[in-house]
């Protein structure tokens, strides 16, 4: 059956597009034939067919076989729950793909012997096309070793992956879906993230995640195609289709998928519901409609035309109703406070160090100094100079420096790319705020993210709020995208309206500004806000604020590979915090320098 399909599907690239529907239908039929279930959802990857028709057919065979021999829904739900608990999607998917192949290949070849040849040719194609890409990562090396072993019978491999190869091979006799889940989970926690259980819990904890929690989560960042609703259902389907893939995704196709995911097409009905959706998911705005429009007219210009700002105190502070998003935000706030509770000594020490640094600098500014003046107390010993020098040299007066002319804004990136660091970023923001409270410097703490064309500015504490308000920083919760340039522009505008002479903006970010295009009727459809364009715009906003007299510090809370972008945005004034224990020393030193600056 499968050999006949291959012969029928010989096709060249010139007629690929017109034959796409035929290819997709035949791949679907293959899935249904193997699974013996003609109601099974199947979304064929016709583009994969052009890279390797054998790999495309073997993917379809695996998809049908896995649905027939195991519980496809149970396994895909595990994958989604593990990602919800902050597992790396791509690494987890690679392990899942290998495990599924090993679990089904003997069963399906026993029933359909011709599949073995298709599998071999698929592996040969993948190793030929993607070998260098595979061996660039640990999961890829495991996949390459498994494919090579299946082709040659040589299962030897380097020591650090040999146990993983043996573990996956043991699934040839997997009795049920849970055995596959347990193996993938053990491999991920040992091979990819050895701290996962400590930070996020055991397999039992992962499987205990409820549908309510999943439904309240923003899967937007993981979607291949953007949509206004049913994110969870679509993401589950996406995972289900990808987990039986054999080859590595083509770089060009990755770019296509990113472009699809970076554009949101809205109709009139979507637009009419947009503001109420923002209220439901981010809490009511504290600005009046008139003030909101005024802020948009003033700030949403240039690269941010067609964008809007949405100011809120958050869904926990001002909800429309207790929905899934509210529940999810509350659970994240609990996790943030748990990290604070478990790190109390380190946090307390950081606050003390930073407070002492700031207090010492403020005391120096408060010291009374004696300066020459043209009025004040006459100095008798200088009377002989009368008529021979300027009058100001005959008098002295006491001068007390002003220690209350500072204001600080802390701006925290609350986009989905910070998902794995939510509690750590919240703790960093709290440490700075607590130290500033101790020395009575007015400061505001804001979080920002972007959903559709709204950049959400969430207020955790305002400039003159009491000390207790700093505790609301633990309500920090990440979601969606980030338009850093607009958020920095908005924060700078607020600082410029403050009466204090010295204004400081501290931005906690990951150096990855990234937003979608919202293509609404009548819009100017701006460029995709990502990559070089977004980094350049964000750097421009930082430079503009510095010219306006605002001191801007970037605190890097991201991956090391994004450091170059962070340096471009903030120049020399940025801090890279590898460990929370060193946070106060680095940031405190910068603030101390500013407080002592003349």
pLDDT in tens, 235-276: 777 777 777 777 665 544 454 444 444 445 455 555 557 788
Across residues 443-466, what is the average pLDDT? 93
What is the bridge-based pairing of β-strands 395-400 and 443-451? unpaired
Contact assessment for residue 480 and residue 419, using Cβ atoms and an 8 Å cutoff: no
At 3 the pLDDT is: 46
Length of the chain: 598
User: Quick one: which of 584, 587, 566, 486 has its CA closest to 529?
Assistant: 486
Mean pLDDT of the chain: 80
Q: Which residues contact 558 (CB under 8 A, 6 or more apart)?
A: 417, 418, 421, 509, 510, 511, 512, 566
Angle among Cα 585, 588, 591 to the nearest 5 degrees reads 150
449 confidence band (pLDDT: 50, 70, 90): very high
Tell me how far apart the alpha carbons of residues 514 and 528 are, in angstroms, rounded to a whole number: 8
β-sheet with 443-451: strand ranges across: 308-312, 454-461, 443-451, 406-413, 502-509, 550-556, 574-576
At 49 the pLDDT is: 67
Token couple for 448? 């920002």
Across residues 430-453, what is the average pLDDT? 92
Tell me how far apart the alpha carbons of residues 484 and 32 are, in angstroms, rounded to a whole number: 47
In which residue are the tokens 């008139």 written? 290
Across residues 325-332, what is the average pLDDT? 87
224 confidence band (pLDDT: 50, 70, 90): very low
Across residues 205-223, what is the average pLDDT? 70
At 187 the pLDDT is: 93
Query: Which of 170-174, 225-229, 513-517 bottoms out in mean pLDDT, i.e. has the lowest?
Result: 225-229
pLDDT in tens, 3-52: 444 444 444 444 445 566 677 777 777 777 777 776 676 666 666 666 77
Tell me how far apart the alpha carbons of residues 586 and 591 are, in angstroms, rounded to a whole number: 9
At 28 the pLDDT is: 74
Tell me how far apart the alpha carbons of residues 455 and 477 are, in angstroms, rounded to a whole number: 15
Tell me how far apart the alpha carbons of residues 562 and 553 are, in angstroms, rounded to a whole number: 17
Helix axes 324-342, 344-366, angle to 10 degrees: 80
In which residue are the tokens 């970037």 written? 554
596 confidence band (pLDDT: 50, 70, 90): low
In DSSP notation, 4-72 reads: HHHHHT---GGGHHHHHHHHHHHHHHHHHHHHT-TT------HHHHHH-HHHHHHHHHHHHHHHHHS-H
Tell me how far apart the alpha carbons of residues 71 and 176 are, in angstroms, rounded to a whole number: 8
Q: Three-state secondary structure along 198-210?
A: HHHCCHHHHHCCC
Token couple for 462? 């305002």
Tell me the CB-side half-sphere exposure of residue 256, using CA atoms within 13 A: 6
At 16 the pLDDT is: 46
Burial of 285 (0-12, 13-18, 19+ CB in 10 A): buried
318 confidence band (pLDDT: 50, 70, 90): very high
At 6 the pLDDT is: 43
Burial 162-198 (b: 16+ CB within 10 A, else e): eebbebbeebeebeebbbbbebbbebbbebbbeebee
Contact assessment for residue 96 and residue 66, using Cβ atoms and an 8 Å cutoff: no
Query: Which of 338-342, 369-373, 441-445, 545-549 bottoms out in mean pLDDT, i.e. has the lowest?
Result: 369-373
In this predicted structure, the answer to whether residue 519 has a pLDDT above a threshold of 60 is: no
User: Quick one: which of 223, 215, 162 has its CA closest to 187?
Assistant: 162
């Amino acid at each position: 059956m499968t050999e006949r399909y291959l012969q029928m599907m010989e096709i060249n690239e010139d007629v690929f597009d017109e034959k796409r529907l035929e290819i997709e239908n035949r791949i679907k039929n293959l899935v249904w034939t193997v699974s013996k279930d003609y109601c099974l959802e199947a979304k064929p990857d016709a583009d994969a067919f052009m890279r390797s028709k054998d790999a495309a057919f073997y993917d379809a065979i695996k998809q049908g076989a896995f649905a027939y021999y195991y519980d496809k829904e149970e396994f895909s739900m595990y994958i989604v729950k593990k990602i919800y608990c902050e597992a790396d999607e791509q690494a987890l998917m690679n392990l899942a793909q290998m495990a599924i192949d090993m679990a089904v290949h003997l069963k399906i070849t026993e029933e359909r012997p011709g599949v073995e040849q298709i599998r071999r040719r698929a592996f040969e194609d993948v190793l030929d096309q993607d070998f260098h890409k595979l061996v660039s990562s640990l999961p890829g090396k495991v996949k390459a070793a498994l494919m090579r072993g299946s082709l040659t019978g040589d299962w030897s491999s380097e020591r650090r992956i040999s146990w993983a190869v043996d573990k996956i091979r043991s699934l040839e006799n997997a009795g049920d879906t849970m055995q596959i889940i347990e193996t993938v989970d053990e491999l991920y926690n040992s091979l990819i993230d050895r701290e996962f259980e400590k930070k996020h819990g055991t397999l039992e904890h992962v499987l205990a995640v409820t549908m309510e929690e999943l439904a309240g989560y923003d899967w937007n960042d993981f979607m291949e195609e953007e949509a206004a609703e049913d994110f969870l259902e679509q993401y589950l389907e996406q995972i289900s289709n990808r987990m039986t893939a054999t080859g590595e995704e083509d770089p060009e196709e990755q770019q296509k998928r990113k472009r699809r995911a970076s554009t949101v097409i809205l109709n009139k009905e979507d637009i009419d519901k947009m503001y109420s959706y923002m209220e439901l998911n981010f809490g009511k705005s504290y600005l009046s409609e008139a003030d909101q429009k005024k802020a948009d007219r003033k700030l949403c210009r240039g690269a941010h035309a067609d964008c809007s700002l949405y100011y809120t105190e958050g869904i926990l502070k001002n909800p429309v109703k207790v929905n899934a998003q509210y529940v999810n935000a509350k659970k994240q706030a609990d996790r943030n406070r748990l990290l604070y509770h478990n790190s109390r000594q380190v946090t307390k020490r950081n606050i003390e160090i930073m407070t002492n640094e700031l207090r010492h600098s403020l005391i120096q500014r408060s010291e009374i100094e004696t300066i020459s003046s043209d009025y004040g107390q006459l100095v008798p010993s200088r009377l002989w100079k009368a008529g021979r020098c300027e009058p100001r040299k005959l008098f002295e007066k006491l001068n007390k420096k002003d220690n209350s002319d500072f204001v600080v804004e802390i701006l925290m990136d609350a986009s989905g790319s910070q998902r794995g660091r939510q509690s750590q970023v919240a703790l960093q923001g709290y440490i700075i705020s607590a130290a500033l409270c101790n020395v009575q410097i007015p400061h505001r703490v804001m979080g920002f993210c972007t959903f559709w064309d709204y950049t959400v500015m969430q207020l955790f504490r305002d400039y003159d709020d009491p000390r207790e308000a700093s505790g609301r920083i633990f309500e920090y919760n990440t979601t969606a995208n980030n338009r850093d340039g607009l958020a920095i522009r908005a924060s700078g505008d607020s600082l410029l309206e403050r009466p204090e002479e010295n204004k400081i903006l501290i931005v906690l970010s990951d150096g990855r500004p990234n937003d979608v295009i919202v293509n609404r009727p009548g819009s100017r459809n701006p460029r995709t806000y990502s990559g070089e364009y977004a980094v350049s715009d964000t750097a421009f906003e930082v430079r503009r604020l510095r010219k306006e007299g605002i001191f801007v510090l970037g605190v890097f809370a991201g991956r090391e590979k994004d450091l170059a972008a962070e340096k471009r945005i903030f120049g020399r004034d940025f801090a890279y915090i590898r460990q929370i224990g060193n946070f106060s020393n680095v940031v405190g030193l910068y603030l101390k320098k500013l407080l002592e600056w003349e």
